[in-house]
Amino acid sequence: AQSVTQLDSQVPVFEEAPVELRCNYSSSVSVYLFWYVQYPNQGLQLLLKYLSGSTLVKGINGFEAEFNKSQTSFHLRKPSVHISDTAEYFCAVSGGGSNYKLTFGKGTLLTVNP
């Protein structure tokens, strides 16, 4: 079985401040990790994903995430946020097997204030 825990349900920050959204996972097999973003009244879109190789993954809009196997974490970071980054962010894991199953965390609402 696989699961995802997003440690913060809401993260308020000021514009131009750095932000880290935390994600921990559990899986009994190799993992593939994803971060999706949902802007208000829209569907989800992929920010970045970790499949293998370098543990630091860069995504769209200046976001990056680091895969840490020993801590079973995949935290999302941005050095300087903008008002337009206000959205809900979902961490997700796929753990392999013959059938694809993507398990999502409960989401973190990032609110960027002026």
Residues of this chain that interact with another protein (CB under 8 A) are 4, 9, 32, 34, 36, 41-46, 49, 51, 90, 94-102, 104-107
In the bound complex, what is the minimum distance in angstroms from residue 68's beta carbon to another protein? 19
Q: Please, which contacts does 3-6 make with residues 24 or more away whose CB atoms are closer than 8 Å?
A: 3/27, 3/93, 3/103, 4/91, 4/92, 4/93, 4/103, 4/104, 4/105, 5/105, 6/89, 6/90, 6/91, 6/105, 6/106, 6/107, 6/108
Residue with smaller CB distance to another protein, 60 or 83: 60
In the bound complex, what is the minimum distance in angstroms from residue 81's beta carbon to another protein? 22
Residue with smaller CB distance to another protein, 15 or 109: 109
In the bound complex, what is the minimum distance in angstroms from residue 108's beta carbon to another protein? 10
